[in-house]
Amino acid sequence: MFKVLPAVLLAAALIATASDAAANGAAFFRPAGKNDKVDLMYVGGIKDTAGRRLNFADITVTVKTLGLTFPFANDAPGHFRSPDVGELIKEAGEVVDPTDLEISCFVVGYKLATRPVPRKSHGILEVTFVRAEDPAETIRPAPEPDQTAMEATAGLGCVALLVTAVAARTATRRRFTDD
């Protein structure tokens, strides 16, 4: 029985962490720690005009009057989260003025978009990009992964884990003695 316990604990740990992996970026939008204070951060999504999420985007928050830029990339499901821009501006000894800020998004195969940010100087603010294809570009983003295929793979992994646990249990023979 004690030899099966590590396999059961491993299975429980895998199942517990699987919910974060399948959250489709929801954890991505939270600050780093539950008690962390955010000064000024931008989050949002990037889609094309057909509503498909776009991956591999380069996003930049720019402070126009200071010449400061804060480049970052999005995550695979088409979401993005900037660094804490407000904190970085304050570390540079400046005051956050949202009228001086703009955010741009570049995805290969789509037109560059630059737009002003919401006119607030603190908090977590949402900015969404809808990208129009650039006819001059010939490269298109990779298609999104098939959710049913991912679920089938996860199901097969669980079955394999169960078979391994049963095999480990039956491999350890119990010895009975006649008294």
Q: Supply the DSSP string of the chain, one letter for each residue.
A: -TTTHHHHHHHHHHHHHHHHHTSTTGGGGS-SSTTPPPSEEEEEEEEETTS-B--S-EEEEEETTTTEEEEEE--TTSEEE---HHHHHHHTT----GGGEEEEEE-TTB--EEEEPPS-SSEEEE--EEEPB-TT----PPPPPPHHHHHHHHHHHHHHHHHHHHHHHHHS-------
Q: 136 and 68: one domain? A: yes
Q: 66 and 92: one domain? A: yes
139-166 mean pLDDT: 68
Per-residue confidence (pLDDT) for residue 168, from 0 to 100: 72
Express each pLDDT in 29-69 by its tens digit: 445 555 578 899 999 999 888 888 988 899 999 999 888 89
Domain containing 118: what range? 34-143
Q: 1 and 83: one domain? A: no
Per-residue confidence (pLDDT) for residue 146, from 0 to 100: 64
Q: 138 and 69: one domain? A: yes
Q: 56 and 129: one domain? A: yes
Report the number of distinct structural domains present in the chain.
2
Q: 11 and 96: one domain? A: no
Q: 88 and 133: one domain? A: yes
Q: 44 and 128: one domain? A: yes
Over 80: is that where the pLDDT of 110 sits?
Answer: yes
Whether this prediction's pTM lies above 0.85 is answered by: no
Q: Give domain status of residue 179, yes or no.
A: no
